[in-house]
């Protein structure tokens, strides 16, 4: 869960910047070595940025840094 919390803090800081987008979130997540990219790809298989906003990221410890559209931010989930 700590891995998702760390990424959540970093991404939520980015959501406050002008012109935040899913591409900026993905670029920031690529800097985190704890993101499980095959798991993330599987979780976001039907991802559509025009509808979904941003992707959720699966972490190596099994936790998830999940995008919550209603709050325009991320939350860490175990």
59 backbone dihedrals φ, ψ, rounded to 5°: -100, 160
Q: Percent of the chain, pLDDT > 70?
A: 100
What's residue 74's pLDDT?
98
Beta strands in the chain (DSSP E): 57-58, 64-68, 73-77
pLDDT class of 50 with cuts at 50, 70, 90? confident
Average pLDDT for residues 65-78, to the nearest whole number? 95
């Amino acid at each position: 869960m700590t891995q998702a919390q760390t990424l959540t803090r970093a991404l939520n800081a980015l959501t406050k910047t002008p012109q935040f987008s899913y591409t900026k979130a993905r670029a920031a997540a690529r800097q985190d070595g704890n993101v499980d990219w095959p798991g993330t790809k599987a979780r976001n298989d039907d991802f559509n940025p025009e509808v979904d906003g941003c992707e959720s990221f699966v972490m190596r410890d099994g936790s998830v840094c999940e995008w919550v559209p209603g709050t325009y931010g991320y939350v860490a989930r175990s």
